[in-house]
Amino acid sequence: MSVTFTKMAETINAFKFSDKALAEIQRYISHYPEGRQKSALLPALHVAQAENNGWVSPEAMDAIAEILNIQPIEVYEVATFYTMFNLKPVGKHVLEVCRTGPCCLRGADQMIETFKQKLNIQEGETSADGMFTLKPVECLASCGTGPMLQVRETYYENLDSEEAVDQFLEMMRNKEVETPEWAK
């Protein structure tokens, strides 16, 4: 029986917060009482993900633990609980497609199928060109305009035909990744 060890070089994703990111995390820390800085953990994970090409690496989590003065495990256990945090590398644009009931009544299943065909990937996978990751998510509170999806901080709605999906993909291929408000 052979055991394959991942090469160390592949697991190291050097990470350092930018000054703007650090300022944003400090801003959140200031919202909570003295000694309750751990409350800024979820905001810090969002900041880290935006800084790290759409995913949160172990190194980024360790950096957060250091800033918040908590144990790394406290960051890992939280990052693994919440579905928004991607724990492995993702494509340039993560398509968070709603797969929940109300969107399905308006064609979400077909929309997801269309994405799978056009991008030649399954749910959870990234397209060969590294451009798109297809990530099914649960209800995004946009049921009146389904089927829909989210990319970073933008909703794209009423994707109820192959044509609409085509147009969307075309537009995204030429779109740069959004910069969050605090990084501008």
Partner 1 sequence: MGIKILTEHINVPGIETLEVYRKHGGYRSVEKAIKTMTPDEVVEEVKTSGLRGRGGAGFPAGMKWSFLAKPEGVPRYLVCNADESEPGTFKDRVFMEKNPHALIEGMITSSYALGANTSYIYIRGELLFILRILEKAIAEAYAAGLLGKNILGSGYDLDLHVAPGGGAYICGEETALLESLEGKRGNPRNKPPFPAVKGLFQSPTVVNNVETIASVPWIVNNTGAEYAKIGIGRSTGTKLISASGNINRPGVYEIDLGVPVEEFIYSDEYCGGIWKGKQLKAVVPGGSSVPILPADLILKTAAGEQRLMTYESLSDGGFVSGSMLGSGAFIVFDEDQCIVRNTWNYARFYHHESCGQCSPCREGTGWMERVLHRIEHGHGHQQDIDLLVSVAKQIEGNTICPLGDAAAWPVASAIRHFREEFEWHIKHPQEATAPGAVYRGQLAAATV
Residues contributing to the site for partner 1 (CB under 8 A): 28, 31, 33, 36, 38-43, 45-46, 68, 74, 77-78, 81-85, 96, 99-102, 104-106, 137-146, 150, 153-155, 180-181
CB-nearer residue toward partner 1: 6 or 66 = 66
Give the shortest CB-4-to-partner 1 separation in angstroms: 30
Cα 146 to chain centroid distance, Å, stands at 20
Nearest to 146 by CA among 184, 109, 93: 109
Nearest distance, CB of residue 171 and partner 1, angstroms: 18
Supply the minimum distance, in Å, between the C-beta of residue 1 and partner 1.
31
Token representation of residue 83: 């579905």
Least Cα distance to 75 among 31, 21, 30, 37 occurs for 37
Please, which residue, 88 or 129, has the CB nearer to partner 1?
Answer: 88
97, 107 Cβ separation under 8 angstroms: no
Gap between the Cα atoms of 9 and 6, Å rounded? 8
Distance in Å, CB of 100 to partner 1, minimum? 5
- Closest to partner 1 by CB, 128 vs 175, is 175
Report, in Å, the least distance between residue 175 CB and partner 1: 16
Least CB distance to partner 1 at residue 2 (A): 33
Using the minimum distance from each CB to partner 1, give the nearer residue, 106 or 116.
106
Q: Which residues contact 70 (CB under 8 A, 6 or more apart)?
A: 38, 41
Q: Which is nearer to partner 1, 32 or 128 (CB)?
A: 32
Amino acid, single-letter form, for residue 163:
E
Residue 42 vs 164, nearer CB to partner 1: 42
- Alpha-carbon span 118 to 107, nearest angstrom: 17
Tokens of 136: 């099914």
Residues 6+ apart with CB under 8 A from 76: 58, 61
